[in-house]
Structure 1
Amino acid sequence: MARELVYTGFMSLDGVLDSPGGTVEGHRSGGWVMETEFVPEAFSLKGEELADTTALLFGRRSYEAFAPIWRDSEDHAAYKDLPKYVVSTTLSDDDLLDGWGETTILRSTEDVDKLKQSDGGALYIHGSAELARTLSDADLIDRYNLLVFPVLLGAGKSLFSHTDRPKQQLSLRDSASYANGVVKLVYEVVR
């Protein structure tokens, strides 16, 4: 049985994923998640994911943004010893961050597909909008865990491409809405 590949992310109501935690990725409205009232239960999905994650998958830019912060973050301490995979055609082993556990560079969508066919549990993609679009178009993502925030950003990186591709049906696995306007949407890809 193939490993489940899960995309998890924060999304604006108009579908933008760009720079939810800060301006490090360059979006003019970076940090938009922090501008929404904090309601702990709205983030319970993140705790559930932490318990389910057996490996992390990143695109190059998200790896470079998250690795230095998450390596030393108590909130992400459980990720330290998990295997990490970075999909990049430009990174070398010398570019990988020391002290954040085993990290492997994958070079292609085919490499991600091979990883999915290997033994192990769920693989989680954090951030990595460009990678998520590529893997979605290749029909490799099995589930979308989304926290949709009540903000319109107008422009930025989106989760889904506008590539003309066959329809992909989704099944709602879980949903909830919270007092701060955040909506949890968990969709499984129907195959």
Structure 2
Amino acid sequence: MRRIIAATFVSLDGVMQAPGTPEEDPTGGFQFGGWTFHYFDEATGAALGEIFDKPFDLLLGRKTYDIFAAYWPYAGKDDRIAVLFNKVTKYVATRGNASLDWNNSRSLGTDVTAALTELKKGEGPDLLIQGSGNLIQTLLRHGLIDEYNVLTFPLLLGKGKKLFADGTVPVALKLIRSQSFPSGVIMATYEPAGSVKTGSFATEDPSEAELRRRKNWQ
């Protein structure tokens, strides 16, 4: 059975938009494209490389696919990531009919969740999501993501497309491993851990002030 793994870069306030270059995704007036650049050091790069050491196929939303297809085929044969990305199968969630010209690219069709449910049942490498925030939200709603690798960068961007935006389905996560780097980047790996559980630190006999507060906040 294949797993779906989301690997993504986020700022401390959860923004994932345009981590690589200023021209990557300026939609919405986003002005901080390329915000990961000055935080990449040898240790961070090595940790990211470990994600790509295991066999994988790429799973991409259409916008991320277009960004990647305009870059990686032209990055050069000496770029290890380019070699990997150009070789593997690219599964693309796309609503349009525009062609997928990057080699080994396949559309997931009109029912993305059904297609991925079937893919997960089959044999093959894990399906690795890069970017693709809208696709992540869709898969989260259907419980299809098996692992999150989140690299959090030490900066605040204020606005921009977020990894877990409004409408995110509540779910508990279990921390599998974590690592920090001299640049201040923190890499954490999570697995879904069922529904969110709540509890209370309140006393059994709340004060009159507390009861009034609860009433006022209803």
TM-score normalized with structure 2 length = 0.79
Task: Determine if contact 1:137/1:161 at 8 Å carries over to the other structure.
Answer: no
CA apart distance, 1:164: 6.5
Larger CA deviation: 135-144 vs 67-76:
67-76
Q: Which has the larger radius of gyration?
A: 2
Q: Distance in 1 between matches of 2:63 and 2:152?
A: 22
What amino acid is aligned across from residue 25 of structure 2 in structure 1?
E
SS at match of 1:32: coil
1:80 counterpart = 2:89: no
Instruction: Give the corresponding residue for 1:29.
Output: 32
- How far off its partner does 1:187 sit? 0.8
User: Does structure 2 retain, via aligned residues, the 8 Å contact 1:21–1:34?
Assistant: yes
How far off its partner does 1:162 sit?
2.7
2:167 aligned residue:
163
Quick check: 5-14 or 43-52, which moved more? Answer: 43-52
The SS at the match of 1:180 is coil
- 1:90 and 2:89 correspond: no
- Give the C-alpha shift of residue 101 in structure 1: 2.9
Deviation track 1:50-106 (CA, whole Å, cap 9, x = no partner) reads 1214210100000000112112322321222211111011144xx212xx4311101
Unaligned 5+ residue runs, structure 1? none
Matched with 2:60 is 58
Deviations 1:135-180 (A, max 9, x none): 1121111101111001111111111233264x42211111111111
Q: TM-score, normalised by structure 1?
A: 0.89
Residues 1-55 of structure 1: CA deviation (Å, up to 9, x unaligned): x31100001110000100000132113110000133x321112232111121421
How many percent identity over aligned positions?
34
Residues 91 and 105 in structure 1, CA contact (< 8 A), matched pair in contact too: no
**2:202 match:** none
1:48 aligns with 50
**1:53–1:124 Cα contact (<8 Å) kept:** no
Partner residue, 1:144: 148
Of 155, 172, 181, which residue of structure 1 is paired with 2:175?
172
Secondary structure of 2:167's aligned partner: coil
Task: Determine the structure 1 residue equivalent to 2:133.
Answer: 129
Per-residue CA distance 1:114-134 (angstroms, 9 max, x = gap): 222221121100011111111
For the residue of structure 2 that corresponds to 1:71, the secondary structure is: helix
- Structure 1 segments of 4 or more deviating over 3 A? none
Contact 2:58 2:89 in 1 (8 A): yes
Structure 2: gaps of 5 or more residues: 195-218
Looking at structure 2, the residues matched to 45 and 120 of structure 1 have their Cα atoms a distance apart, in angstroms, of 23
The aligned residue for residue 116 of structure 2 is 112
Secondary structure of 2:64's match? helix
